[in-house]
């Protein structure tokens, strides 16, 4: 790998250069395209393992590598988290049922740059009203977090925007997982918390690259990890949803690297 360029802040956050935004856009566009194209493969009776096989083929077809295959022993090109699974669901033989809601999370590496994004999908008919509402609120919470991104604001401002919105809708923010810096590495400082207080945490600077990926629950925020050491579920078995974008801080705001070329980034029902 090339020697990383640019500088680190006091908080150990890398400041990337103007020319680096293009690499992140190229990686993010592939991730977004895969998330667009996978929608038609989500239906009742489909297994999450088959969805992952289709994703694996697309990762290669589009000239990228999976960031997750081989990462800390993980063996798949996606995480697929169904219903009360919060994140890191392992694709397998289990078949989707009508009305299931699921998050599909894909990270590719293109020319050394990482594109990490996830969205919610629904198997079959519209989900019930509470599930539908959860998906909408989670999506909107992510966008409110992104809108807090500009130089001079802090990571606490991002978390606060997400938390106040989710809680105003009587939903809870998962504390046990967070967003992360990325760029030419998968996970780097900072931890991007999805809750917090205004004005706290590191200050945002132009050239920071990171994800925002709130997990929102209908019930309580607590999670536990199953015996497979990956699958995180809500302790109270309530439904959980997540959306994730990879973004960069610009001179006056933000640049979303994982926007869909078709403009799709919403529940696919
Ligand atoms: N894509 C996940 C994230 O948003 C990380 C998945 S790591 C894996 O950070 F090993 F579980 F795939
Ligand atoms: Co991520
Ligand atoms: Co991800």
pLDDT digits (tens, 9 = 90+) for 234-251: 999 999 999 999 999 999
Asked whether residue 4 is assigned to any structural domain, the reply reads no
> What is the C-alpha to C-alpha distance for residues 220 and 78, in angstroms, rounded to an integer?
26
Asked whether residue 128 is assigned to any structural domain, the reply reads yes
Asked whether residue 11 is assigned to any structural domain, the reply reads no
Asked whether residue 9 is assigned to any structural domain, the reply reads no
> What is the C-alpha to C-alpha distance for residues 116 and 107, in angstroms, rounded to an integer?
4
Q: Measuring CA to CA, which residue among 144, 113, 145 is closest to residue 20?
A: 113
CA of 88 to the centre of ligand 3 (A): 9
Asked whether residue 268 is assigned to any structural domain, the reply reads no
> What is the C-alpha to C-alpha distance for residues 110 and 189, in angstroms, rounded to an integer?
21
Q: Any idea what the CATH number is for the domain that residue 164 is in?
A: 3.90.230.10
Within 13 Å, how many C-alpha atoms sit on residue 67's CB side?
A: 24
Asked whether residue 2 is assigned to any structural domain, the reply reads no
Low-confidence ranges of the chain (pLDDT < 50): 268-269
pLDDT confidence of residue 127: 87
Phi, psi of 9 (to 5 degrees): -75, 175
> What is the C-alpha to C-alpha distance for residues 84 and 193, in angstroms, rounded to an integer?
21
Sheet strands side by side (includes 172-173): 172-173, 215-217, 240-242
The answer to whether the predicted template modeling score (pTM) of the entire model surpasses 0.95 is yes
User: In the chain, how many domains are there?
Assistant: 1
Asked whether residue 45 is assigned to any structural domain, the reply reads yes
Residue 269 near ligand 1, beta carbon < 6 Å:
no
Report pLDDT digits (tens) over 202-215: 999 999 999 999 99
Q: For residue 180, which atom of ligand 1 is closest to its CA?
A: 9
Asked whether the beta carbons of 87 and 233 are under 8 A apart, the reply is: no
Q: Give, using CA atoms, the residue closest to atom 12 of ligand 1.
A: 68
For ligand 2, a single-atom ion, which residues have Cβ within 5 Å?
A: 116, 211
Residue 213 near ligand 1, beta carbon < 6 Å:
yes
Tell me the three state secondary structure of residue 238.
coil
Residue 71 near ligand 1, beta carbon < 6 Å:
yes
Contact residues for 235 (Cβ-Cβ < 8 A; gap 6+): 220, 222, 223, 224
Domain region containing 72: 20-255
pLDDT confidence of residue 140: 97
Helix (H) or strand (E) segment spanning residue 207: none
């Amino acid at each position: 790998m090339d020697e990383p360029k640019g500088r680190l802040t006091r908080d150990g956050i890398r400041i990337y250069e103007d020319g680096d935004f293009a690499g992140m856009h190229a990686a993010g566009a592939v991730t977004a395209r895969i998330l667009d194209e996978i929608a038609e493969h989500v239906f009742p009776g489909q297994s999450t393992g088959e969805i992952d096989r289709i994703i694996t083929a697309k990762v290669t077809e589009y000239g990228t590598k999976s960031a997750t295959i081989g990462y800390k022993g993980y063996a798949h090109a996606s995480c697929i988290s169904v219903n009360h699974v919060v994140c890191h669901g392992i694709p397998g033989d289990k078949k989707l049922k009508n009305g299931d809601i699921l998050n599909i999370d894909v990270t590719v590496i293109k020319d050394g740059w990482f594109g990490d994004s996830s969205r919610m999908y629904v198997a079959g008919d519209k989900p019930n009203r509470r599930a539908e509402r959860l998906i909408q609120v989670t999506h909107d919470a992510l966008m409110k977090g992104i809108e807090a991104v500009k130089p001079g604001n802090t990571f606490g401002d991002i978390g606060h925007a997400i938390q106040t919105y989710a809680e105003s809708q009587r939903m809870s923010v998962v504390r046990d997982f967070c967003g992360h810096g990325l760029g030419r590495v998968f996970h780097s400082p900072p931890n991007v918390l999805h809750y917090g207080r205004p004005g706290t945490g590191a200050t945002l600077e132009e050239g920071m690259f990171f994800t925002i990926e709130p997990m929102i629950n209908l019930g309580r925020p607590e999670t536990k990890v199953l015996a497979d050491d990956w699958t995180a579920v809500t302790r109270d078995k309530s439904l959980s949803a997540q959306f994730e974008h990879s973004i960069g801080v610009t001179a006056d705001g933000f640049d979303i690297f994982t926007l869909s070329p078709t403009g799709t980034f919403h529940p696919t029902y």
